[in-house]
Structure 1
Amino acid sequence: MRYEGVLTKMRTEITDVVQYYLVWENDFLNLNQALGKKISINFLKFQCLNCGLEKKIFRQGFCYDCFNSIPQAGDWVINPELSKAHLGEEDRDLDFEKRAQLQPHVVYLANSSDVKVGVTRKSQIPTRWIDQGAHEAIEIVEVPNRYLAGITEVALKEHVSDKTNWRKMLTNDIVDLNLEEEREKLKEYIPGEAKEYYIASNKETEIKFPVQEFPKKIKTLNLGKSPFYEGVLTGIKGQYLLFQDGTVFNVRGHEGFVVELKILV
């Protein structure tokens, strides 16, 4: 089977085991069905996810010009505490920023390698947790805008990490934690503006990933440096494909890369 198109982050569906899909303009592939099979990936060209032009990808699937101009790549995306739509202040496009920022957001704890704090739109749960490879996660607060979520994350990351150790996540070097207890420990550090939004009742969500075999040592595949790869798919976790020889491929890290993908066996 042969597929060709521009890579975007894998779409997911939470069932007993997470279902993963690569989606192109006119086709899609359920990657779970490719487990145990040999796959080849051939990098053909770049295609910016915003302007559609064949320009080298800078970050997040966008070319340099688009990354530095479109509202989807504003500083508030990575640093939610910089959000200003609730004040009526524009960064790049106030209408877009109001739609994105002035909606319910959740600050959460996720355990991918060690426990970490993060922020996402409420509508992105549990997708955000799956994308981070978290095997367990729980909400801390649900607030009405991105700014409140951002200042809460800033306060809490003084006491818990806001980073995922992706190598530990992919080798399954993990420990199970009682996230309800971890949440309770952090309650006192929530900023005053967000304290009323604390969630005390939610139970942690457990997530199982389709992995037949975890790599012991990791080799990362960068299509910009090695434009062709072939290997047996043994797992999918986070936004990574895991292969039998220890190679791991970050699909989201290659957004905007046009590839030819073949399932050979």
Structure 2
Amino acid sequence: MSAPYKIIDGHRRHIAARGLGMKTVPCRTYTKLPKGELERIRFEVQNNRREWKPLERSEALNRIKDQKGFKTNKELADCLGLSTTLIFFSLQLRKQTMEYLGLMEKYDLEDTYRVEFIRLKQKLRRIKDLEVNDITIILFKKVKSDVIRSAKEFRQLRKIFLRAHLNENELYEFLTNPDMSVPELEARTVQSGPSLLVEKLLLELGKIFQEGSDVSHQDAVTYMQLRDFLLKKFPIAKAA
């Protein structure tokens, strides 16, 4: 009579042992596992064996959370001894991947591209008449046609989209020209150190004025000095 056990891990070793005629093999047994515990054990075994593929880990975490009935990411994190941040981003990856799964399958996106796209997706915004969904399809087409040659280029795009309000014309050209590469776009949008500082200053001032915060007399004097300096160095700005 066969023992009422289900192999969780070690199927190939079990087959090899039977082929060698071994009567017994060392193993760890679990009896009456609570719901979801089987997936937790499988997760730990896999976690100690090799590095997870991001999407693979995301699916495993979702199964454990679902089967154990956890309501929060903290409960799942405490159960597995992982950080809540890792849990959050991993589950978010699955959620957003499912949203774009059809498109990703259509354009044969590899896992590395899928992971980097999900990170990029958070920074995408409308560029002129191109909505986010239009931009997504354009990027996937560029991957399929090898215009985008590496998942790392999605990281470069993420940085460029962070400054989309300044790079809108260049981004629009990149998105409407099927042959324009990310390195070409990057070369046109590279900023010097001073221009980055000015950009940050403009963003900060925009927040201050939007919130209606008071500006001190000394700050106002400094801003006026900056204005006078720029008008002197760039007289075209005065004409505009």
The TM-score, its normalising length taken from structure 1, stands at: 0.20
Higher RCO (CA 8 Å, separation ≥ 6 residues):
1
Q: Comparing both structures, which one devotes a greater share of its residues to helix?
A: 2
Indicate the structure (1 or 2) with the bigger Cα radius of gyration.
Answer: 2
TM-score of the pair, normalised by structure 2? 0.21
Higher fraction of strand? 1
